[in-house]
Each structure stands twice: as C-alpha cells, then as structure tokens.
Amino acid sequence: MSSRAGPSAPGRWWERWVAPTRPRAPTSSSSSARRWQGEPRRRRTRSHGFDPEATDVTLLPIAGHEELRRALAGAWRRKRLPPVLLLHGAPGVGKQRLGHWLGQLLVCTESGASSGSPGSPGDLGDPVGPCGSCRECRLALRLEHPDLHWYVPVPRPRTRGSRDKDDEALEDARRSWLEEARVTPLRPTHSSEVRALHLGTIRNFRKEARRGRGTGPRRLFLLADAEELVAQEASQEAANALLKLLEEPPEDTWFVLTSSEPGRLLPTIRSRSTALHVPSLPAAQVRDFLVEQGVTESAEADRVSLLSGGSIGRALGFLGDGNDDGPLEQTRKSALRLVNAALSSRDADVYQEALGFKASGARGLMELLAFIEIWLRDLAAAASGVEDVIRNRDAVAWLVRKAEERQVDPSGPSRALAAVERAREEASGNVNPQLLLTGLMLDMRRALRTSEP
C-alpha cells in the first residue's frame, strides 16, 4: 500500500473528527449563508414606485450552462420557445437562476435575442442573452420586474381564519423570501426547514397569471422545486390547480418549472412541459465562482467544489459561519464517524454513534446515507491505491491509514455500498433512524471484513 498521504498532522486532526461524540445540531441555512454575500448590500428605502435608474444589482452573474443558454436564446429568437419548460437537475446547479435568466431575456429591450440580430451586451450582458444594462434588465436583476414572477416553496404560516387570509399569508411569506434574496443572493441549497408549494400558493400563482401583463409585452412565471406540489405538506389539489393553468397558458406568457426530482411530479404535468436537463457544473467552474465572488479562499474553494458534485448551492452548504460548520459539513462529519465506527471491532462504538444521531426528518437521513456512500467509495479508492479520485481531499491521509490498519480489501466497500442502498430503501418509509443506522453499521462492518467473500 502506498504511503503518499503526506505528514502525520492531518491524521491527528482527523482523529478529532472521528472521536465518538454526539454531533451538534445543524445551524440554520439562513444564518450560515449570511457571510456569502460579501459586503452587505445597500437596502433601498422607497416611498413609492420603482427606481429603474438605481445602479445596485442583487442577482449575481449566472455561472455556466453556456450551451443550454445558447439553445434557449436560439429558440426564443426563432419564436420556437415552448410555453412551458421543466428544468430538471441536481439541487443547487442553477436551475432557478437559469429560469430567471430566461425571463430577463424575454423582457430585455436591447439584447440580440430580443431584436432578432446579434446583440451588443452591456457591462453586465451576455453575448447570447439579455444585455444586463437596459431598464428592464436592471429591474429584473433587482427582482423587481412586474412581468417576472418567482414562486418558491415556503413554510406553512399560521392560519389567519379564512382561505383568503391564509392565501395572503402565503403571499407574504413569498415576498419575504424575495426580499431576503435581494439582500442575500447567495444561499446554500440545503435547508432543514419543511417547505412546500401549498394550495394557496398555487391559487395566488393562478390569480397572478390570469391578471394580465404588467408593463411589457411578455411575462414569465418561475415555479421553483415543483416536486413539492405533491409533498406531504402540500396537496394533490395544488398540482391539479396548476395543471389547469398549464393546459391553456395565457397569451405571451411563459412558465418555467424547476425540479430536482421530476419523477415526483404528476405525469400530466410532465406531459405538458418540455423537459430540459440542467447538468452539474465542472468542479473548476464551481471553484472559480466561489473565489471570484469572494465567498471563500482558494484552498477551501478547491475542497468544497470537489465535494459539491458540481453544485454551487451545495458547495455553500459546506461553508460555515464563524466557528460553526455549514450544515452539509456537519452531516459529512457525522457520516465519517459512522464509517469509522463500522471499521471498529468494538460493538460499543457502533451503538454509541448510531444512537447519538439526531436526524432532521427523512431528508436529513437520506443526506447522511449519501455521505456514507461517498466515504465508502473514497475508502475503496484508498484501498486500491488510487488516491487521486478521492473526493474528500482533506481526508486522504486518514483514509489511506485506515485502509492499511484494517487491511481493507477494495471489494469490501463495494459490499458495504449494497447495505447502504438497502438502508436507503428502508428510509423512504416510517423508520426509526437510530435503529436503521445500527443495522446498517453492523452490515457495513461485516462487509468490510476481508475474511468474508
């Protein structure tokens, strides 16, 4: 086995990670995100109306997806843009930002895509898309354009006593989200808060769509995380209400739905949408974006970009606020402690780590299992002597040392991955997370023993 893992100091540091301790409760995504905005943006106070001459821009430049943007701009230029689009891909890869970019393209008055000829983009412009400097673009970038409407899942507010008042409460929650997005444009994708697209949100969505255009000739409605229409916290009726609108979209109106789990959408909604896959970004592109926006330093950007799986939103979830780890970093460390306990010969280590885990619902458990899977793949790479493919780059020394100490055969982690997949299937039901993890870790320990076939 190669010992190219470097000096011993990183190993001692990782021992603090894998010491049997009760993990901290995750910090909220909103608090961990506040540092990503860089210098605080100036809040504007206006007594009435928009100020199209203001120069402060809230949304950051769109990252990547050049080929997809060229295709969308070309379809718009040729008047072949479908009225209902479904942008699907992994969480945090930029689906909503791409949908907003398309809306900005539709309302821009100076871009080549709007005029049908090659454009001359401004300082904030895009060679194939919106100019970024006209009045309409400035309003769009400040999330203030009256013809661009962005709807997102929100927590269920307290009832106000009637359907109309409850719908108003949901609209207030949406507007609060937009105001936060203006001030803090970069936020992690990860959130432990339960959110959904409630029936009242869809009623508001339909009402606005039927109202008619604002100030321009075209409108775009962006519905984020559309799979939450059929989440337990929402309602099947919400999906049916949306379906009626998509069947007969108003004139000069486009709808963009985004989803990380399109399989959860009603088949009738999928059949009325033109699906476009939004791929994950190259790790180098994620890294460059984080550095250019002043989110973190180069070394840390390297680390989290590899862990992110090509998702800027997930990369932000690894970065902490002050001395606290980001929510995804906390889950990654919890997964490491579980894998380390599975490598131990002591049953007490297994039970202590499993019983100490506090899952934040089924979603938190699924996230933990995903990180266990990554650690097992990295352990297999370390056991095979191919450390260059390890994703947890800051743990190479620990992984190599553990593979040597425990004489891990590369086939062992592969068998353990099968146990993780079984646990994932069980986790989709109503299970006790501590009992599930105890069984998983015992299965993993058996799989990692080289004496077994």
Distance from C-alpha of 344 to C-alpha of 126, rounded to nearest angstrom: 54
Residue 46 vs residues 43, 50, 57, 58: alpha-carbon distances, Å: 10, 8, 16, 16
pLDDT at 324: 83
Full set of structural domains in the chain with CATH: 9-19+326-448 (1.20.272), 57-279 (3.40.50.300)
Distance from C-alpha of 157 to C-alpha of 114, rounded to nearest angstrom: 40
CA nearest to 380, candidates 408, 405, 406, 404 = 408
Cβ-contact 49, 219 below 8 angstroms:
no
pLDDT at 117: 39
Residue 165 vs residues 205, 223, 323: alpha-carbon distances, Å: 15, 22, 41
- Structure tokens that stand for 291 in this block: 């550095």
Cβ within 8 Å of residue 195, ≥6 positions away: 152, 153, 154, 155, 225, 228, 233
Helix (H) or strand (E) holding 253: strand 253-259
SS (H, E, C) 22-85: CCCCCCCHHHHHHHHHCCCCCCCCCCCCCCCCCCCCCCCCCCCCHHHHHHHHHHHHCCCCCCEE
Distance from C-alpha of 367 to C-alpha of 363, rounded to nearest angstrom: 6
Would you give per-residue pLDDT tens digits along the chain (453 residues)?
443 333 333 344 445 555 544 444 444 333 333 333 333 333 333 322 334 444 455 788 899 999 999 999 999 999 999 999 999 999 999 999 999 999 999 999 987 544 443 333 433 456 678 988 899 999 999 999 999 999 999 888 888 788 889 899 999 999 999 988 888 888 888 776 778 888 888 889 999 998 877 778 899 999 999 988 754 445 667 667 788 889 888 889 999 999 999 998 888 889 999 999 999 999 999 999 999 988 888 899 999 999 999 999 999 999 987 778 889 999 999 999 999 999 988 888 888 888 877 766 567 888 999 999 999 999 999 999 999 999 999 999 999 999 999 899 999 999 999 999 999 998 877 788 888 999 999 999 999 985 544
Sheet bearing 219-223, strands edge to edge: 148-151, 219-223, 253-259, 84-88, 274-277
What is the sign, positive or negative, of the torsion defined by CA atoms of 54, 58, 64, 67?
A: negative
- Tell me the whole-structure pTM to 2 decimals: 0.80
pLDDT at 195: 82
